[in-house]
Structure 1
Amino acid sequence: MTTPAAGNTPLTPADTADAARLVAFGLQPKLPPARDAEYAALLRRYQEEPPFARIADAVATGLGLVVLEVSPRAGMAVAAAEDSVFAVRMGEYARRTTADPTDRFLHGLAHLAVAALAFPRPADLADDDYLGRISVHGVEGFVRHACQRLAERAAERGENTDPASEEPGLEAAWRVYARRSATGATKDSRRLAGSTTGIVGKAVAFLADAGFLHRTGDDQGGTYRTTPRYQLQVRELAASAAMSELTELGLVPVSDGAGALLPSPSDDSLDLVAGAGLPFHR
């Protein structure tokens, strides 16, 4: 790392290399700044030297990245723009984990549910010190309860809750989810990957591998807490229509990472569809 440029001294190619190095650190979500002296020093340069910060931002922009936050808490937190090579879209993610196209909807719904359950209230999402806690079984139970509520309301309206179409893309995600077994097991009692609990397990494992969740135990199928980087990602997701529809069902958080539902004050926006194009970022 070069010596910081002083005053109005022009930045050198070595300074640009340092800025690129900082962005590279940001692409390592499991590396906290406190564990790497060079990373921490580059973060200080970003915060104390506006010219250096502008170069780092420009490097990130050139790579198709959006800088969400730069701080000792989150590090160089970046998100991939939609056309960035660093974006991991839900369709790509689902194809990596399953050959069944129907499961893409279920994986999308699982990710939305994890986000809603981890930060159930706007105040939680806005509080930098808040740590969300979820469990695999809690997320699965939350989605299944939501499916039950949606089915009941569709029946009350006289809507068709069992369409004849064999095309998953024409069905609401909750209908697909409700039809899938919650657990299922192989002959040696291992959880079926295609069960909804298996799908939720894959979703949270993916988030943990990407540095968004931290595994804290094995109870309830696996328990996890959120990281600052995930909180920043969910803040971006919170504006999506699908997230709004899910949270409008009336989530009630409990301490073990599970959740329950209360009747929504509104009957609007009940047909939640998990978007297959939802981007996730590394």
Structure 2
Amino acid sequence: MSETHAEHTDAWSEQEPPHADAWSRQESAQTPAAPVASASGGPAVTPADAADAARLVSFGLQPKLLPARDAEYAELLRRYREDPAFARLADAVATGLGLVVLEVSPRAGMAVTAAEDSVFAVRMGDYARRASTDSADRFLHGLAHLAVAAMAFPRPEDLADDAYIGRFTVNGVDAFVRQACLRLEQRAEEAGENTDPASGAPGLEAAWRTYARRSATGATKDARRLAGSTTGIVGKAAAFLTDSGFLQRTGDEGGGSYRTTARYQLQVRDMAGSAAMAELLELGVVPVSDGSATLLPPPEGDDLELAADAGLPFHS
């Protein structure tokens, strides 16, 4: 590497003779840069390779773009899968941008998600502030995204099955969360706990109380639902995920009906281990075929406690 640097330094320090032919200078400027040999002695990496790898990552940052509809994208995916050196280069580009590669396949393209410190990450606080100035809404927006994921993939086998397509409605998600709120309130009462604690309570414990007290629709005079109502918040979450290429809107019934994409399934897999999502799924509230929700009886010996550090995960 030091010899290469020395050669470049000499090239910059040498002055071209004043009588050099103009055409020769132009030809020289158009000559591609020499490949840089890898430290491991493997195939040389050229600037063109780096550009192609970055191009593939840029495609991955466009969730709505499908490889089947873009020949260049499909070719770069093929190269990624068949050329290990190129795959490592593309992975390195993604890592340098603060991205995590979830999957590279014809069905999902190059599916990436933003690491916490990435410039591409969308913070839940920022997301909520765009919709409302009420700080309490941060919990509600986070809970809405969490509930959409849980409704879309209620069972581990659904999440693991690449062929599975989740379906839900906005009203169904709202009913799902309200049933979960009811279950949490019942547990608090049975345990003799205060059902109206300080607003600083963590995780789901604070979120369910805020959600349960919020109007479901709060419709305006022209029958539109208010953005601050719970169905308005769920609708915003679904619309955001649709605009981001993670969901597809399929109709208007139930406040808006949606189906999942391969990319969204990968995102949910990535966050499935979070304490908050596990807690929500274990409450026994499950979706049924009509897009609503139902409450199952608690299992024997069910002594699940709220996790004090349960966060509300969000992925861009």
The answer to whether TM tops 0.5 is yes
Give me the whole-angstrom Cα distance separating, in 2, the residues matched to 1:145 and 1:36: 43
On the 8 A contact 2:63/2:246 being kept in 1, the answer is: yes
- Offset at residue 129 of structure 1 (A): 0.5
On the 8 A contact 1:154/1:160 being kept in 2, the answer is: yes
Tell me the equivalent position of 1:253.
287
Tell me the equivalent position of 1:220.
254
- Identify which of 300, 305, 309 aligns with 1:269: 305
Tell me if 1:41 matches 2:81.
Answer: no
On the 8 A contact 1:20/1:59 being kept in 2, the answer is: yes
Tell me the equivalent position of 1:80.
114
Q: CA, structure 1 residues 179+90, in 2 after alignment: closer, same or farther (shift >3 Å)? A: same
Aligned ranges for residues 55-66 of structure 1 at < 5 Å?
A: 55-66=89-100
Tell me the equivalent position of 2:192.
158
On the 8 A contact 1:113/1:143 being kept in 2, the answer is: yes
Q: CA, structure 1 residues 250+166, in 2 after alignment: closer, same or farther (shift >3 Å)? A: closer
- Deviations along 1:140-164, whole A, 9 cap, x unmatched? 000001111111121111111123x
Tell me which moved more, 50-59 or 182-191: 182-191
- Alignment-mate amino acid for residue 279 of structure 1: F
- Deviations along 1:192-224, whole A, 9 cap, x unmatched? 111111111111111111111110111001000
Tell me the equivalent position of 1:107.
141
- Offset at residue 9 of structure 1 (A): 4.7
Tell me the equivalent position of 2:171.
137
- Alignment-mate amino acid for residue 30 of structure 1: K
TM-score for both structures, normalised by structure 2: 0.82
Give me the whole-angstrom Cα distance separating, in 2, the residues matched to 1:137 and 1:272: 29
Tell me which moved more, 152-161 or 170-179: 170-179
Tell me the equivalent position of 2:88.
54
Q: Report 1 or 2 for greater relative contact order, CA contacts < 8 Å, sequence distance ≥ 6.
A: 1
On the 8 A contact 2:100/2:115 being kept in 1, the answer is: yes
Aligned ranges for residues 187-266 of structure 1 at < 5 Å?
A: 187-265=221-299, 266=302
Q: CA, structure 1 residues 10+51, in 2 after alignment: closer, same or farther (shift >3 Å)? A: same
TM-score for both structures, normalised by structure 1: 0.92
Instruction: Say which SS state the counterpart of residue 188 (structure 1) adopts.
Output: coil
Runs of 5+ in structure 1 lacking a partner?
A: none
Runs of 5+ in structure 2 lacking a partner?
A: 1-34, 36-41
Tell me the equivalent position of 1:18.
52
Give me the whole-angstrom Cα distance separating, in 2, the residues matched to 1:230 and 1:24: 18
Give me the whole-angstrom Cα distance separating, in 2, the residues matched to 1:117 and 1:157: 28
Tell me the equivalent position of 1:29.
63
Coordinate RMSD, CA, aligned: 1.9
Give me the whole-angstrom Cα distance separating, in 2, the residues matched to 1:167 and 1:58: 41
Give me the whole-angstrom Cα distance separating, in 2, the residues matched to 1:218 and 1:273: 37
In our comparison, the structure showing a higher alpha carbon Rg is 2
Identity %: 74
